[in-house]
Amino acid sequence: MNHDIKAHLVDLLRAALRGVAPGELGTAILVERPKQAAHGDFSCNLAMQLARSMKRNPRELAQALLAALPPSPLVAKAEIAGAGFINFHLLPAARREAIHSVLTLGDDYGRSTAGGRRKVQVEFVSANPTGPLHVGHGRGAAYGASLSSLLAYAGWDVTREYYVNDAGRQMDILGLSAWLRYLELHGENVPFPPNAYQGDYVGEMARQMRAAHGARYVHPAAAVQFGTPGIPGSGRSDDEAKEQRETHLDALIANAKDLLGEDWSYVHNHVLTEQLGDGRNDLEEFGVHFDVWFSEKSLFDTGLVERCVDRLEHSGHIYVQDGAKWFKSTAFGDEKDRVVQRENGLYTYFASDIAYHLNKVERGFERIINIWGADHHGYIARVKGAIAALQLAPEVLDVALVQFAVLYRNGQKTSMSTRSGEFVTLRELRGEVGNDACRFFYVLRKSDQHLDFDLDLAKSQSNENPVYYIQYAHARVCSVLAQWAGKTATLVKADLARLDNPRELALAALLGEFPEIVDAAASELAPHLIAFYLKDLAAEFHSYYNAERMLVEDAALRDARLALAAAVRQVIRNGLTLLGVSCPQSM
């Protein structure tokens, strides 16, 4: 059951419309699958669409359309339901056709050309390289990788990109954190700021610096602390205390840069290289690959940030206040205007972000998809506004928001804070439940919905664990085909007419839905639709497997049932591949 059948039904309805209402031939005809199986294989609300403009009762109009429908070799019957829906019930042969299509197309079943090979950039993860990737980053990684695969499968020319924030304050804080730990190793103890990076990985980078360069970067603790304001008690959480802690941190960074001089670049580059390399390896092991690792610093080095701000200023979108340059983002729906260049001449992160999006357009991308954390929701209006202010089309940008994933271990919520060092790394999670469970569970909900990651469920080998349940269906087919010991390629010639019981026809119909699910998932940026579909397909197959024998003595019936099973295996493999999940042959 594929797109050709839907197109066939649309042609039938348009032919009927030509006879009933020739003046309405331009009406878009939408054929969809009804939610209830009793309502047929496909349904259309054309009569209800036209009832008002034609001033006719929708059921009477549906009856007229039904009477004018040309005969079809695929349709068993068409009937009217409800207020004027036209429901189509297909002949068994039309349902079974999906099995043949799957076995013929193999890995390409479900692939489409909808994207027209247009260039799309998907930017995802893009976590500050200030520490190991954690459980929260994992969800964005799994979602972005699955979405990229989906878009490529749907005919887009996809570039997967990671934006490396290597030019901001967070990297300075990480560099300072490692340097202070390095000084501790040499007996120069500076009170460690509570708002610096606390994790064990910081100490490890300090030990690497000592092993490689000895005491080269040592300076007296008194010099490091000279002129810095005091740190308020770590127990205080009011805004004033927080601001004082940040001021203290900035003063330490300034002293570090002054004392180290040119050596500061070594410290900065060392921590950047270590953390970026760790993140890259982690993602590669997770099956998440990037075509481009784009440096934020390069936007400054090439002068693009300055060029962007100048361009906005010349077009009247910038004003100066208190020595700083502000972008008039309220003119584009933002809640307030935004600083792009501070009074000290330094550009803001927003300024580099504007430049980055200009760079994306200049590289020829016809569509840009940013995958951001849900806390960036307010950022969308200002970025789209900047794109419009640059006289580019804001609709080129789509933003998919990903809610933070919360990990529960033994019923306890786990804290995840990169600076405090209290977080569960993605690597730890993968080691505990495996890549497959991670990849599948992360996309088991719509990306902007809250996700509680249930570790106990992810590790269980039971029907309640969806990824195990789906993989087990694949393994079951592999086992049956191994027992049969025939050549799977010959099953494409099986007499599928022998598949005539309701379970077999329902399973065949479900196989036919896969191309539509792929198209819907790609157009809606919704990989979870693939996960939902695979759960339904696995459930339908397990039910069939438990009800019917496959290796029966009747060779024609046996081959037909094996063809159906092989088609199920193929579609499960195609779907799981899109989600980055493996397909074991035995379990």
158-179 pLDDT, tens per residue? Answer: 999 999 999 889 999 999 999 9
Q: Are 327 and 350 in contact (CB under 8 A)?
A: yes
Residue 256, Cβ density class (10 Å: 0-12 exposed, 13-18 middle, ≥19 buried):
buried
Which helix (H) or strand (E) covers residue 524, if one does?
Answer: none
pLDDT band at 135 (very low <50, low <70, confident <90, very high): confident
Structure-token pair, residue 78:
């068409």
How high is the pLDDT of residue 134? Answer: 87
Q: Which amino acid is at 249?
A: L
pLDDT at residue 480, rounded to an integer: 98
Residue 290 pLDDT more than 80? Answer: yes
User: What is 3-90's CATH number?
Assistant: 3.30.1360.70
Least confident of 50-64, 261-275, 357-371, 476-490: 50-64
| Residues 110 and 146: beta-carbon distance below 8 Å | no
Residue 281 is predicted with a pLDDT of 97
Per-residue H/E/C for 545-577? HHHCCCCCCCHHHHHHHHHHHHHHHHHHHHHHH
Residue 419 above 80 pLDDT? no
For a pLDDT cut of 70, what percent of the chain falls above it?
Answer: 97
* pLDDT score of 1: 44
**415: confidence class by pLDDT, cuts 50, 70, 90:** low
Share of the chain above pLDDT 90, in %: 84
pLDDT at res. 99? 97
pLDDT value of position 417: 52
* pLDDT of 416 higher than 70: no
Summarize the confidence of residues 250-266 as an average pLDDT. 97
Q: What is the mean pLDDT of residues 20-41?
A: 89
- CA 42/CA 6 separation, integer angstroms: 8
> Residues near 72 by Cβ (< 8 Å), separated by ≥ 6?
8, 12
- Say how many residues make up the chain: 587
pLDDT at site 339: 97
- The per-residue pLDDT for 67 is 94
Domain boundaries, the chain: 3-90, 96-111+463-579, 169-276
Q: Mean pLDDT of all residues in the chain?
A: 93
pLDDT of residue 156: 98
- Spatial distance between the Cα atoms of 212 and 229, rounded to a whole number of angstroms: 32
What tens digit of pLDDT does each residue of 72-90 get? 999 999 999 998 999 999 9
157: three-class secondary structure by DSSP: strand
Tokens 């209006």 correspond to what residue? 381
| Candidate from 112-116, 166-170, 320-324 with smallest mean pLDDT | 166-170
Report the pLDDT value the prediction gives residue 130, as an integer from 0 to 100: 92
Q: Which fold has domain 96-111+463-579?
A: Isoleucyl-tRNA Synthetase; Domain 1 (1.10.730)
Residue type, 457: L
Q: Secondary structure of the chain: what % helix, strand, coil (to 5)?
A: 55, 15, 30
Burial class of residue 562 (count of CB atoms within 10 Å of its CB; 0-12, 13-18, 19+):
buried
d(CA 100, CA 492): 6
The predicted structure's pLDDT at residue 413: 83
Q: Is the pLDDT of residue 236 over 80?
A: no
Amino acid at 256: A
Specify the range with the lowest mean pLDDT, choosing from 288-302, 418-432, 454-468: 418-432
* pTM confidence score: 0.91
More confident residue, 374 or 120: 120
- On the question of pLDDT at 423 being above 80, the answer is no
Q: Which of 210, 98, 585, 143 is nearest to 370 (CA)?
A: 143
